[in-house]
Chain A
Amino acid sequence: MLGYFALILWFLILIVYFVFTASIFYHFKKYSTSPARRRTFLGIFSIASLALFISNLVFFSRIPWKEISETLSTSIRGLGGF
């Protein structure tokens, strides 16, 4: 349950990131007057963005949601005891 909630949240954040990423590409492609600089900027931007996205994906897939969920529910039950 917690994992699905995080996935939806991450998905929503990624949509916002995607809108900004696409907009950066659009603006540089359409309005930049220097093709060489444009290529450099967009090249660096794409590679680093992709690397960040893949790292995010890898770490997200490694999160033990079931164990975290169990630990949290145990902690919450423990708090209820007080």
Chain B
Amino acid sequence: MLVLLSRCLFVAAIACSCFAVVHAVAGPAETAQIKPRQDKLRDMGGALKAINDEIKKGKLDWDNTILPNTQTIKERSGYLLNWFPKGSGPESGVKTYALPAIWQKNDDFVKLGKAAQAEALKLDQVAQTKNGDALKAQVLATGKACKACHDNYRSPDYEKENEE
């Protein structure tokens, strides 16, 4: 009985180490995505803040603030879905708030990502018309599209730590 138990433990230990090795070699290419992806997503949040600040002030500087920022959001969002290769989740060992659900429910994740891209594209188009009310509505729609993904696929722990 004792022999059987020790054999089981031995096999389990081997299995665990294999698993660890496989994950350790998850690939530098995938893990290398994590930091730039965080920076780019943060830039997009910053761009949306810059637009919202103008709306708060009630004075929209279209050429110097609104348009450059809607362009940033549009361009960055175009690459959005390339930033999450399989293996760039928490299992990579690199600190990330990306949840494993991104790859478990990848169809839904991709659908939400594409919806956000569509809203970001529309945001830039609306900004070009320089219509304040339309911009306000589209900023809200774009932010909600971003949030839809964040609600399900980003760990709520991001609120606890400074994301440096």
Instruction: Tell me whether A and B are bound partners.
Output: no
What residues make up the interface of A, taking CB atoms closer than 8 Å to B?
Answer: none
